[in-house]
């Protein structure tokens, strides 16, 4: 598989399916004829997504699971395989973030973020990739972040996990492309979803807080990127302009990031 634009009859497992980007993506996949395996911790929320999928005329399997738990992740992946026979597409979407200074960040939460954001993707990919290679047909999408390309203060651990996901997607994609498996990473900027708490929004720099993007438009962008066979994509597009600057002029980029984040937040507080 070099790209994907027809989802009719395809089986797709989505982690983090209960809310935010995952929920929108599941509904839109169902509208395009895909059959879904829905993975997240909260069964009631998954049941609501399942109802949306079936209302769109498709089929959904509810799989409550803590993706950070290796045993639970393996059991959920196996249950999806047993139900559908195979999985055509895996969307590693589960993850969470936090805005906090490193010194003030609770170590238990740091470890949990690493487990959810990185290990969850590892567990499901490790379990579902072999059957894709065996059939020489499959697609894996990693939901990364702009923070996985350009790190910002107050997001140190989150940025570390998303840098890891970008690296995993890049390396894996090259490894398996000759086996018929297509891999893409998605790097969203700030998206208007329940992902951000009120505390996060209060700490967020104005440049991000004032430009929260529509998750529906993000999903539109993901479908276009998949159809085009892109291996990495960013939405909204404007943050991608920082990537070559970061590579070619890292000190300049560092000053610009500081000006747009720490300095901007300090000025906003001073005006209050």
Q: Which of 158, 182, 235, 243 is catalytic?
A: 158
- Whole-number Å distance between alpha carbons of 56 and 32: 9
Q: Are 64 and 114 in contact (CB under 8 A)?
A: no
Beta bridge partners of 93: none
Question: Which residues have CB under 8 Å from 159's CB, separation 6+?
Answer: 145, 147, 148, 151, 152
Active site residue 158: yes
Q: If you ran DSSP here, which 8-state letter would residue 136 be given?
A: T
DSSP letter string, 174-213: HHHGGGTEEEEEEEE-SBSSTTS-HHHHHHS-HHHHTTPB
Give the tokens for residue 48: 């609501």
Q: How far is CA 179 from CA 84, 137, 141, 186, 228, in A?
A: 22, 8, 16, 22, 19
Supply the residues annotated as catalytic: 158
């Amino acid at each position: 598989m070099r790209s994907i634009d027809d989802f009719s009859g395809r089986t797709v497992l989505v982690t983090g399916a209960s809310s935010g980007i995952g929920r929108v993506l599941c509904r839109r996949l169902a509208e395009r004829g895909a059959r879904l395996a829905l993975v997240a911790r909260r069964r009631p929320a998954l049941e609501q997504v399942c109802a949306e999928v079936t209302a769109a005329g498709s089929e959904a399997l509810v799989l409550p699971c803590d993706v950070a738990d290796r045993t639970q992740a393996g059991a959920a992946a196996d249950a999806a395989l047993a139900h559908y026979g195979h999985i055509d597409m895996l969307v590693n979407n589960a993850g969470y973030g936090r805005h906090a200074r490193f010194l003030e960040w609770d170590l238990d939460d740091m470890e949990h973020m690493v487990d959810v954001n990185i290990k969850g993707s590892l567990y499901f990919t490790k379990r579902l990739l072999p059957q894709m290679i065996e059939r020489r047909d499959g697609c894996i999408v990693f939901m990364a972040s702009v923070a996985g390309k350009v790190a910002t203060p107050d997001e140190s651990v989150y940025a570390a996990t998303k840098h890891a996901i970008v690296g995993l997607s890049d390396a894996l994609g090259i490894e398996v492309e000759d086996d018929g498996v297509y891999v893409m990473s998605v790097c969203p900027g700030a998206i208007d979803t329940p992902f951000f708490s009120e505390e996060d929004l209060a700490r967020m720099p104005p440049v991000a807080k004032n430009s929260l993007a529509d998750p529906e438009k993000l999903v539109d962008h993901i479908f276009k990127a998949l159809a085009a066979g892109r291996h990495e994509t960013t939405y909204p597009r404007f943050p991608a302009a920082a990537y070559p600057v970061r590579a070619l002029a890292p000190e300049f980029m560092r000053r610009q990031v500081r000006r747009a984040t720490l300095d901007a937040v300090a000025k906003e507080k001073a005006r209050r």
